[in-house]
A and B are shown apart, each in its own frame.
Chain A
Amino acid sequence: MIVNDLTRQKPLTAAQWTKKIAWRHAIGVLAVAFALFPLIWMISASFDTIGSLSAQKLIPLHPGLENFRTLFGNPDQPYLTWLKNSIIISSANAILQMFIGATAAYALSRFRFKGRKLTLMTILVVQMFPQLLAATSLFLMLADLGKSIPFLGLGQTSALIIVFAGGALGINAWMLKGFYDTIPSEIDESAKVDGASHAQIYFRIILPLARPVLAVITLLSFIGTMNEFLITSVILGGNQQSITLAVGMQQYIDGQYNAHWGPFAAGALIATVPVMILFLYLQKHVVAGLTAGANKG
């Protein structure tokens, strides 16, 4: 674009603005409307005391908190238990996934050992076979394991957490290795001279340096687990007390759109807002993480 420094300073005339910029805003506003409408509609539904799909207005005629009360006061479909399960499973998984990935990546980045290339290659190949596609096998496998080890059986949150931990190495190790490679190895060397063991270098030097990246990875894993539906529903299945929010809310609204719409929207709102705020807060880092892959090619 030929926009030299002189013209950049000059304010646009109204005519120029209309010609060059106005239509951009028009498109932007349209796009924003499309992007935001479901969220706005959800917020409106959650505060509309009529609580049904058919009677909802964009600006609720009778605003109130009735939907939230209905949502919390249903012992057969315990929303708060689902929320708690989701938070437990997602947090445990986010931390485990980050930690397992970060640990393996440290060795792959810093040590030269026999079988290192093979390990890297294996992780790459394993990634091609996502756990998601093996949901049926995981189900049969846990049905079998649960007979001997109850907490690794179907319907157990602990089983789900460990299944997800199994997928961890494939997800983050490569990316984190790339990041560790950018941390100069002189830092480790000087620590070694100071008498640090490999574990101390890892826990007290490398991990703190990688904190921003690890935070983003943890956040993305957290959101990913919150959103996971297939494996979660297959493993936790019908156990109302151990299912997550994603599975519970689907069961709650399935086939009951008109009757359950208001409370459903209220529940969706509660789950959406914190995740969205976190996401927008870490926006810059998340975007950097997303585009990291693009610059490689």
Chain B
Amino acid sequence: MKFGNKTPAIFAKIMLLGALNAFTVWCVPILISNKTWLFAIYFTISTLILDYIFLSKKRIAPKYIVPGTILLLMFQVYPAIFTGYVAFTNYSNGHFLDKETAISVMVSNSFAPVGDTTNYMQVAKDNIDGKITLIVQNTDGSYGAGTRDSFKALPTSDVTVSSDGQITKVTGYTTLSDDEIFAILDQFNDFKVPIGNERFYSVSDINAVELVEQNLSYDASKDQVTDRVAGTIYSPNNNGSMVSETGEEIEPGWTTTVGWRNFSKVINDERYRGPMLQVLAWTFIYAGLVVLSTFFLGFLLALVLNHPRMKSKKVYRTLLIIPYAMPSVLSTLVWAGMFNQDNGIINRVLGSPIPWLSDPWLAKFAVLLVQLWAGTPYMFLICTGAIQSLPSEVIEAAEVDGASPRQLFSKIKLPLVLMTLAPLLIASYAYNFSNFGAIYLLTGGGPTIISSGGIAGHTDILISYTYKMAFAAGKGNDYGLASAVSFFNFILVASISIYSFKKSRTIENMT
């Protein structure tokens, strides 16, 4: 083999590094301006490290490992740590913003009409910069031109008014027809013209504005929001909201750390404790039953279909692994259709509308049956492999000693296979422990546990429970609480993995 020309490789390397640096130079200032410090720092440092490693002649091993590691840190390690952080915050519906933004939203949302003043207005376009401008007739009869940022008085002589009081012409502006206004109507949703003194003209009709006033004002030195009309004072509470003395809150709140509150909610609050315990128990039982049932069926099939005199073993094997080869998302949804209470094939065959997916026990059974279907092929494959590699001397010796087929099975074959497959069985347990799709796509976690306020269901496992806490529509996107439960899930899965590594002695193979 010839290893002469290295120019194309060097060229490719320089192009890639150039692209990386260009990307960093472009995005870091944006990240900084958005105050996303962590990523700004991470991108900068990563790029510097990569530049150094790839331009250096010596750092050979890091060239192969560091790029993957940088991605790993950002998208696997950081999210895991961030989960831990979010678990200690009130990140949820109504608490998405940082404090500064939340207060400015509060203040700018607090408009209330002043008296009952409606003024005539005509939409126009500034002839110089093309900006949409409102030509407003003030209460005292004078005119002004207002945009979102400014309001300036117009000499009355600049404005031509028709006999019915409509503004038809304004010097320096082009008035828009009703049709033209309708075409850009959505621009007026939030159109407010500041006229000073915390007062604004707010568009109330296509040719009218209303005088409104900003009610709330924020005093940074006292960290208080004051309602100037009602005189109420709002102070921050420890849950990221501004609250009055009578307990009235202003929307929105902000994100803040809340200590162990999410954890104590899960442990002490009755709405969460009961369902949480139920979900937790079912997660363990579910994963255990799936591994047991699929292993036993897979093992039995492997024994039965592995007789030396049997023909067409290969055909059976190919057909039996088909469930494993089908995309599981789709096959689970097909099963859900087959279990459909009113029209599913299973109930049509049985001739009665059995509530497979809406009865707590039947739904559990259905979930297990579908996983038995989906998981057996894998177990069948690995058991077949394990049986074929059983030491034949041992089995022959046992047969010579007069072991019955049953003894042969329970005393020799099963223990040997179990020993070989133990690491894979534990891995399978860990996999099923967080097999989101198996639950969510079949039952959606349901039927609902009533005491849980509609979030937890009888077939929910931890991961589907957290998903629903965080993302279920209309149930109040509580990311903080969901992260607390995820955190817990992380610990359980990690414990299972540690146990599995010990079993399989992976670490000893680390040479």
CA distance A31 to B376 in the complex (A): 10
- Decide if B60 is an interface residue (CB 8 Å cutoff): yes
Task: Please determine whether B482 and A133 come into contact, CB atoms closer than 8 angstroms.
Answer: no
Q: Mark interface residues in A113-134 (1 if CB within 8 Å of B CB, else 0).
A: 1001101110010111111111
Task: Please determine whether A246 and B327 come into contact, CB atoms closer than 8 angstroms.
Answer: yes
Task: Please determine whether B82 and A54 come into contact, CB atoms closer than 8 angstroms.
Answer: no
Segment 468-511 of B: residues with Cβ below 8 Å from A: 470-471, 479, 482-483, 486, 489-490, 493-494, 497-498, 501, 503-507, 509-511
- Decide if B334 is an interface residue (CB 8 Å cutoff): yes
A-B interface pairs (CB < 8 A), number: 339
- Decide if A84 is an interface residue (CB 8 Å cutoff): no
Q: Which residues of A contact B63 (CB under 8 A)?
A: 107
CB distance from B355 to the nearest CB of A (A): 14
Chain B interface SS verdict (over half): helix
Task: Please determine whether B1 and A196 come into contact, CB atoms closer than 8 angstroms.
Answer: yes
Segment 51-75 of B: residues with Cβ below 8 Å from A: 60-65, 67-69, 71-72, 74-75
Q: Which residues of A contact B91 (CB under 8 A)?
A: 140
CA distance A28 to B479 in the complex (A): 48
- Decide if A69 is an interface residue (CB 8 Å cutoff): no
Q: Which residues of A contact B154 (CB under 8 A)?
A: none
Task: Please determine whether A268 and B330 come into contact, CB atoms closer than 8 angstroms.
Answer: yes
- Decide if B229 is an interface residue (CB 8 Å cutoff): no
Given contacts A167-B72, A226-B327, contact A21 B309 (CB under 8 A): yes
Q: Which of A120, A194, A246 contacts B329 (CB 8 A)?
A: A246
Task: Please determine whether A246 and B34 come into contact, CB atoms closer than 8 angstroms.
Answer: no
- Decide if A223 is an interface residue (CB 8 Å cutoff): yes
Q: Which residues of A contact B483 (CB under 8 A)?
A: 136-137
Task: Please determine whether A131 and B79 come into contact, CB atoms closer than 8 angstroms.
Answer: yes
- Decide if A290 is an interface residue (CB 8 Å cutoff): yes
CB distance from A269 to the nearest CB of B (A): 9
Q: Which of B33, B71, B503, B504 contacts A162 (CB 8 A)?
A: B71
Q: Which residues of B contact A24 (CB under 8 A)?
A: 304-305, 307, 310
CA distance A132 to B436 in the complex (A): 9
CB distance from B100 to the nearest CB of A (A): 15
Task: Please determine whether A28 and B305 come into contact, CB atoms closer than 8 angstroms.
Answer: yes
- Decide if A293 is an interface residue (CB 8 Å cutoff): yes
Segment 274-297 of A: residues with Cβ below 8 Å from B: 275-276, 279-280, 283, 287, 290-291, 293-297
Task: Please determine whether A1 and B399 come into contact, CB atoms closer than 8 angstroms.
Answer: yes
Segment 156-202 of B: residues with Cβ below 8 Å from A: none
Given contacts A140-B91, A166-B74, contact A107 B27 (CB under 8 A): no
Which one of B114-122, B245-253, B317-325 contacts A? B317-325
Q: Which of A168, A283, A296 contacts B68 (CB 8 A)?
A: A168
Q: Which of B76, B343, B494 contacts A167 (CB 8 A)?
A: B76
- Decide if B386 is an interface residue (CB 8 Å cutoff): yes
Q: Which residues of B contact A124 (CB under 8 A)?
A: 501, 506-507
Q: Considering the complex, give the chain A residue whose CB is closest to the CB of B320.
A: A35
Which one of A59-67, A71-79, A210-218, A257-265 contacts B? A257-265
Task: Please determine whether A287 and B385 come into contact, CB atoms closer than 8 angstroms.
Answer: yes
Segment 400-427 of B: residues with Cβ below 8 Å from A: 400, 419-424, 427
Task: Please determine whether B510 and A227 come into contact, CB atoms closer than 8 angstroms.
Answer: no
Segment 150-200 of A: residues with Cβ below 8 Å from B: 162-163, 165-170, 173-174, 178, 181, 191, 194-200
CB distance from A227 to the nearest CB of B (A): 5
Task: Please determine whether B75 and A290 come into contact, CB atoms closer than 8 angstroms.
Answer: no
CB distance from B388 to the nearest CB of A (A): 10
Q: Considering the complex, give the chain B residue whose CB is closest to the CB of A119.
A: B65
Q: Which of A31, A129, A140, A229 contacts B86 (CB 8 A)?
A: A140
- Decide if B440 is an interface residue (CB 8 Å cutoff): yes
Q: Which residues of A contact B72 (CB under 8 A)?
A: 126, 166-170
Q: Which residues of B contact A258 (CB under 8 A)?
A: 340, 342-343
Q: Which residues of B contact A131 (CB under 8 A)?
A: 75-76, 79
Segment 216-260 of A: residues with Cβ below 8 Å from B: 223, 226-227, 229-230, 234, 246, 249-250, 253, 257-258
Q: Which of A100, A139, A198 contacts B71 (CB 8 A)?
A: A100
- Decide if B77 is an interface residue (CB 8 Å cutoff): yes
Q: Which residues of A contact B324 (CB under 8 A)?
A: 279
Given contacts A21-B309, A54-B343, A287-B385, contact A268 B71 (CB under 8 A): no
Task: Please determine whether B326 and A276 come into contact, CB atoms closer than 8 angstroms.
Answer: yes
Task: Please determine whether A117 and B510 come into contact, CB atoms closer than 8 angstroms.
Answer: yes
Q: Which residues of B contact A128 (CB under 8 A)?
A: 493-494, 497-498
CA distance A68 to B325 in the complex (A): 23
- Decide if B382 is an interface residue (CB 8 Å cutoff): yes
Q: Which residues of B contact A264 (CB under 8 A)?
A: 333, 337
Task: Please determine whether B382 and A291 come into contact, CB atoms closer than 8 angstroms.
Answer: yes
Task: Please determine whether A139 and B470 come into contact, CB atoms closer than 8 angstroms.
Answer: yes
Segment 409-462 of B: residues with Cβ below 8 Å from A: 419-424, 427, 434, 436-437, 440-441
CA distance A100 to B328 in the complex (A): 26
Q: Which residues of A contact B434 (CB under 8 A)?
A: 130, 132-133
CA distance A279 to B440 in the complex (A): 25
Task: Please determine whether B338 and A41 come into contact, CB atoms closer than 8 angstroms.
Answer: yes
Q: Which of A52, A126, A268, A293 contacts B343 (CB 8 A)?
A: A52
- Decide if B3 is an interface residue (CB 8 Å cutoff): yes
Could you name 9 residue pairs across A and B whose Cβ atoms are closer than 8 Å?
A28-B305, A39-B322, A121-B507, A140-B86, A148-B30, A200-B9, A246-B329, A257-B336, A294-B421
Residues of B in contact with A (beta carbons under 8 Å apart) = 1-4, 6, 9, 27, 30-31, 33-34, 36, 39, 60-65, 67-69, 71-72, 74-80, 82-83, 86, 91, 301, 304-305, 307-310, 316, 318-331, 333-338, 340, 342-345, 348, 373, 376-378, 381-382, 385-386, 389, 392, 395-396, 399-400, 419-424, 427, 434, 436-437, 440-441, 463, 466-467, 470-471, 479, 482-483, 486, 489-490, 493-494, 497-498, 501, 503-507, 509-511
- In the complex, given contacts A108-B65, A257-B343, A265-B334, what are 6 additional A-B residue pairs having Cβ atoms less than 8 angstroms apart? A35-B322, A100-B71, A121-B510, A168-B71, A230-B463, A268-B330
